[in-house]
Structure 1
Amino acid sequence: MNGTIRFPHLGITLEHVIRSVHVGGIEIACYGIVLAAAMVTGLLLAMKVAEKTGQNPEDYFDLGIIAIIVSVICARIYYVVFSWDYYREHLSEIWNIRQGGLAIYGGVIGGVLTVWLFCRVRKLRFCTVLDTAVPGLVWGQVVGRWGNFFNREAFGGYTDGLLAMQLPVSDVRAHEITEQMREHLQVIDGVEYIQVHPTFLYESLWNIGVLLILLLVIFRVKKRFQGMTVLMYFLLYGAGRFWIEGLRTDQLLLPGTRIAVSQVLSAVLAAGALVLLAAGWIRERNTKT
């Protein structure tokens, strides 16, 4: 492995970017470290939002521990299901997530189901809990995407834009290198590089914007209804993910088609959220009059 990652138009060259660290003879993937940091900091943010909005942070700690476990399992199941052509021939790799392979929408689905069951047991309001927890989810996505950076994955096709990223051919999966990338291979100091969209970075930056908007809604918008924050998340994240997913070369496809399942789900969630937001605003306006 070469280990170099370059952003040529920004004048940034990162050498010896590692994939893992060794602690006491045990190899720990950077991907896992980043995901752990994303989950812990996301949980802490959700607890802080709960405290600031007059709720019990301990409820969110308990929920977070359960939701993290369920979400990781569901994220992996989602990824494996839509990559079954590969995994049916490699059954032993199904639960090996060290090299990546977690689909965020699978995690979101698992998380929402966990919240619903938790609220039933604790007698909490489902929409209120979702509204409070979703900033933590978004922050987890902001941080978690950097696991893809260390794994040299979740990148897009060839680009010569400002944020273009160069990766050594030897450091990426061969099947993710498109013909267009090969046509624009660059040799630098004897090393072949592909030049691609850093879609993990796009999504991380997009989610920072989503998070800021959600926090403004929670703490600055006085006339809001229950579920409004989580609907804003589905609308904003869905719109951004629809665009970003179209750039990626590692899309999960609907079986028997060339249609990216995450683009379909993003479009459905964004459109559905927009309709529900409009209905909520109309209902609130009619209630006030």
Structure 2
Amino acid sequence: MSVLAINPIFFNLGPIQIHWYGVIIASAVIIALTLSVREGTRVGLEADNFYDYILWALPVAIIFARAYYVIFEWGYYSQHTSEIIAVWDGGIAIYGSLIGAALVMFLYCRSKFISMWTMLDVVSPTVILAQGIGRWGNFMNQEAFGRITSKGFLTSLHLPNFIINQMYIDGHYRVPTYLYESVWDVLGFIVLFTLRHKFHLFKQGEIFLCYLIWYSVGRFFVEGMRTDSLMIGNTIRVSQLLSVILFVGAIVTIIVRRKRDNIDWYYVDAKTKKS
């Protein structure tokens, strides 16, 4: 770590260290939950649906995120088993958390007889916002970075000095790929948040599917610039492969549902339709 880098510890509470990483992730979840509750009530869902869901989804998402990361870094963790649960030091995978959260969403909506598509449409824009905010946890831990670069390149991006200094890692300046993805995610939130209320634009479930498309495109290209990617063998980046699968799957799903399914109502009409 550079002497100018930001301390990843937010504060010490006796022997307990509170990391910036955890504070940022927790803040992102709270913001996403607040916005989801507000939108959910607008379309006829109860606030308790979101509070109850997050109580189950959050721990499962963390477990899946860590398990996903550990599985693809097993060569290291098999030799350092005591570090497997050390999520406070970073090393969680967003795709893993999404898989865990989606599984809980499926089970929760079935048990409550709620339309999963409507729930997914409500939370998708706030999820991508949370992802964009959460990337700053990577910034604090000096991870999710790209190739070696020069200070001049970072300066040419008109970045503030605190970002430039934080990108000085192990004796070299690094490309701030965490920042690229954060900007892409926040832009995705703005697009989805703005367009989802446009009349006769998104049919039920399509906000979620467009979220998958948007995120997977950005993640594919940003992942290609990173130097700390999870790999299959020495050639395939896990997140790029999954991004391609999600991108193609989401587009195919939209086409098939529009052609074959009897989806005759739009997201803006959700409150007047049965869940």
Q: 2:247 aligns with which of 247, 270, 285?
A: 270
1:280 and 2:269 are equivalent in the alignment? no
Identity, % of aligned positions = 36
Identify the structure with the greater helix proportion: 2
- What is the deviation of 1:168? 7.2
User: Under a length normalisation based on structure 2, what TM-score does the superposition of the two structures give?
Assistant: 0.86
CA distance in 2, matches of 1:235, 1:112: 16
- What is the deviation of 1:286? 10
1:206 and 2:184 are equivalent in the alignment? yes
Q: 2:202 aligns with which of 220, 224, 231?
A: 224
Secondary structure (helix, strand or coil) at the match of 1:145 reads helix
1:78 and 2:68 are equivalent in the alignment? yes
Query: CA offsets, 1:26-62, max 9 Å, x none?
Result: 3211111111111111111111110222221210111
User: Under a length normalisation based on structure 1, what TM-score does the superposition of the two structures give?
Assistant: 0.82
Query: CA offsets, 1:198-217, max 9 Å, x none?
Result: 11111110011111122133
Query: CA offsets, 1:66-124, max 9 Å, x none?
Result: 11111011000000000000000000100001210010000000010000000111111
CA distance in 2, matches of 1:21, 1:224: 41
Is the Cα contact below 8 Å between 2:35 and 2:126 reproduced in 1?
yes
CA distance in 2, matches of 1:119, 1:274: 24
Aligned to 1:123: 113
Higher RCO (Cα < 8 Å, 6 or more apart): 2
- What is the deviation of 1:3? 4.1
Q: 1:261 aligns with which of 238, 245, 249?
A: 238
Q: Structure 1 regions of 5+ residues with no counterpart?
A: 6-16, 175-192
Is the Cα contact below 8 Å between 1:225 and 1:284 reproduced in 2?
no
Q: 1:234 aligns with which of 198, 212, 231?
A: 212
Change in CA separation of 1:287 and 1:22 when aligned onto 2, cut-off 3 Å: closer
- 1:211 corresponds to which letter in structure 2? F
Aligned to 1:177: none
Change in CA separation of 1:4 and 1:230 when aligned onto 2, cut-off 3 Å: same
CA distance in 2, matches of 1:204, 1:168: 16
1:249 and 2:227 are equivalent in the alignment? yes
1:146 and 2:151 are equivalent in the alignment? no
Aligned to 2:7: 18
Secondary structure (helix, strand or coil) at the match of 2:7 reads coil
CA distance in 1, matches of 2:90, 2:238: 18
Q: Structure 2 regions of 5+ residues with no counterpart?
A: 266-275
- 1:150 corresponds to which letter in structure 2? M
Secondary structure (helix, strand or coil) at the match of 1:54 reads coil
- What is the deviation of 1:285? 10
Secondary structure (helix, strand or coil) at the match of 2:10 reads strand
CA distance in 2, matches of 1:203, 1:252: 16
**Please, which moves more after superposition, 82-91 or 272-281?**
272-281
Query: CA offsets, 1:104-153, max 9 Å, x none?
Result: 00000001000000011111111111111212211210111100111011
Count matched residues.
256
Is the Cα contact below 8 Å between 2:66 and 2:92 reproduced in 1?
yes
Is the Cα contact below 8 Å between 1:41 and 1:140 reproduced in 2?
yes
Query: CA offsets, 1:135-188, max 9 Å, x none?
Result: 22112101111001110110111343633764579x74x6xxxxxxxxxxxxxx
1:93 and 2:70 are equivalent in the alignment? no
Aligned to 2:272: none
Is the Cα contact below 8 Å between 1:238 and 1:266 reproduced in 2?
yes
Is the Cα contact below 8 Å between 1:130 and 1:230 reproduced in 2?
yes
Secondary structure (helix, strand or coil) at the match of 1:137 reads helix
CA distance in 2, matches of 1:114, 1:227: 17
Is the Cα contact below 8 Å between 2:145 and 2:174 reproduced in 1?
yes
Superposed counterparts of 1:39-188, under 5 Å: 39-159=29-149, 160=153, 162-163=156-157, 166=164, 172=169
Alpha-carbon RMSD across the aligned residues, in angstroms, is 2.3
